[in-house]
Structure 1
């Protein structure tokens, strides 16, 4: 499906890509899930990838909360710029690299549902109109939500698929 252009497409693609990712992850044995990805990748295993998604969900929700109050969120995170995102991703990896996979899956499910609630509470115009909210700059709220959901789930699916061969 191409990039969502409506609220229904956003809900459908984010849910579809999330389900595809989790179905794929759940198809592996515990031994395979614990195996390491090839050297050279920041995310070393499935847990790392799912933790990365969860943390970006949390950041998206923080941006949203701060931004919708009329304030400017620190994006992508305090002390980081979009150019230093690789450094931020390393810090995210450090935060979760000893976490339990089942705990991460539960946290990811909760943060996924929380983002879905945000999507559902807005009209199509509120989601897709560019420059509607000061905090989203020249783009739309949907652009941020697409990046944090359907696009990110697709990235994760492809990374895991490539790494689990």
Structure 2
């Protein structure tokens, strides 16, 4: 799918991808939602997230925390478009963010699946509200914000909403297929 060119198209993409994810989750049993991913220890899957996320809750808190980062980033940019704020929290870089992702998982070990769902619903709505307050220029023009001079805010928004929802959808769908392939019933 091509990148959205308007706020309306962006909002629609985000909502559609979120609805797809929520629909997949809601169409599965609570046992499926709470079960450990079957591919968690699969050595053939090299991506870090396959080793990190053990269950749906881990995926949802990952999305939630990244949306919290996005909301903080947007707030800082809206307060001063010339700010040099970093998207990532202090102590992390784009080379070390996998450590941050692991810290997110560890932070949420006592978070329940139901809490994770509520947290994500909350940040999802907050992000949509922030998008509504942004101008088309602030979302789509390169160089509109000093902190992201070489790219657009759209990139950060889509990476932490619609694209992240697709990532989560595919991962959870893979989990459900793996359960079925191994003969695990609800």
Give TM-score scaled by structure 1 length: 0.94
RMSD: 1.3
Q: How many Å separate the matches in 2 of 1:73 and 1:163?
A: 37
Larger Rg: 2
2:61 to 28, 43, 51: 51
Q: Would the aligned equivalents of 1:62 and 1:73 in 2 still touch at CA under 8 Å?
A: no
Structure 1 portions without partners, runs of 5+ = none
1:115 paired to 2:127: yes
4+ residue runs over 6 A deviation: none
Q: Would the aligned equivalents of 1:127 and 1:140 in 2 still touch at CA under 8 Å?
A: yes
Q: How many Å separate the matches in 1 of 2:68 and 2:127?
A: 9
Give TM-score scaled by structure 2 length: 0.84
Structure 2 portions without partners, runs of 5+ = 42-49, 178-186
User: For residues 16-51 of structure 1, what are the alpha-carbon distances to aligned partners after superposition, in whole Å with 9 as ceiling and x for unaligned?
Assistant: 001100110111111111111122421111111111
Q: How many Å separate the matches in 1 of 2:109 and 2:14?
A: 26
1:82: Cα distance to partner? 0.6
Q: Would the aligned equivalents of 1:52 and 1:89 in 2 still touch at CA under 8 Å?
A: yes
User: How many residues are matched?
Assistant: 165
Q: How many Å separate the matches in 2 of 1:103 and 1:2?
A: 33
